[in-house]
Amino acid sequence: MSYLFNTFLYQPIINVLVLLYNTVAFGDLGVAIIILTVFVRLCLAPMYHKMLHQQAIIQKTRPELLKIQEEHKEDKEKQTLLMMELYKKHKINPFYTFLVLLIQLPVLWALFKAFTSGLNGKIAEVLYPFISNPGEFNHIAFGTLDLNERSVLLIALTAAAQFIQTKLSSPATKDPKTPMPSGNVMGVMLALFTIFILWGLPSAVAVYWLTTTLFSMGQQFVCNKSIKNAELKGNNN
């Protein structure tokens, strides 16, 4: 398993990162990390788009789900049957989000390993023959940011972006049983989790996290807009 991970994920990612560092990033490791992150997200974009689309539909069908749960709370079998019929009606796979998260975990771990242990300059054994070894990386990104050190400002920006992205993916609900919009609660929790994780990690990981979060925000905005346009088209028809 370790061989497969290193051969098909970690090694290609570290080689692409070094190639970007040597060429289009002009020796700026921060720029190389941003370009690599965008490239990876573009490769995963179709899968993410389908996941976001399904999550948005689940949000809109939430009142129907709550009604089913309330009316059939004593009959769990019928409740489950009606919920599955609702999912089928709206073409929702309730396990798709979990599947997407499961698939992306090895990719995220490979990126994390590349941004931490892979940036110490000792990468000759994993580089392809046609990739030039840059020796020691210049860890000063954008002229000011030390990618080996913690950046409180970058962590704060990443946490704020995480909060906004969560708000975009979790529209406020008017359900009277919910005292506070779920997007606010989840957004705060994920923002705090982001701070907790990044506090002990080098800024290289924070650059990746901020970039992928901003990409998610853009993808969520596009998804929300496409769903809204589809609803308007349906209403006009």
pLDDT digits (tens, 9 = 90+) for 51-86: 888 887 887 888 888 888 888 888 888 888 998 998
With H, G, I as helix, E, B as strand and everything else as coil, classify residue 48: helix
Task: Give the span between the Cα atoms of 60 and 44, in whole angstroms.
Answer: 25
Judge whether 186 lies within some domain: yes
Of residues 232 and 16, more confidence is placed in 16
Mean pLDDT lowest for which of 15-24, 108-117, 211-220?
A: 108-117
DSSP 172: P
Instruction: Give me the number of domains the chain comprises.
Output: 1
Judge whether 236 lies within some domain: no
Task: Give the span between the Cα atoms of 61 and 40, in whole angstroms.
Answer: 31
| pLDDT of 182 | 58
Judge whether 147 lies within some domain: yes
Average pLDDT over residues 100-129: 81
Judge whether 215 lies within some domain: yes
Q: Which domain holds residue 221?
A: 2-229
Using alpha carbons, select from 180, 185, 192 the residue that is nearest to residue 167: 185
Of residues 171 and 136, more confidence is placed in 136
Judge whether 62 lies within some domain: yes
- What distances in angstroms separate CA 37 from CA 40, 157, 167, 187, one per listed residue? 5, 17, 22, 22
Average pLDDT over residues 224-232: 77
Q: Is the pLDDT of residue 181 over 60?
A: no
| pLDDT of 186 | 85
Of residues 127 and 103, more confidence is placed in 127
Judge whether 237 lies within some domain: no
Task: Give the span between the Cα atoms of 168 and 142, in whole angstroms.
Answer: 29
Judge whether 234 lies within some domain: no
| pLDDT of 178 | 46
Amino acid at 5: F
Judge whether 111 lies within some domain: yes
Residue partners of 128: CB distance under 8 A and separation at least 6: 15
pLDDT confidence band for 171 (50 / 70 / 90) = low
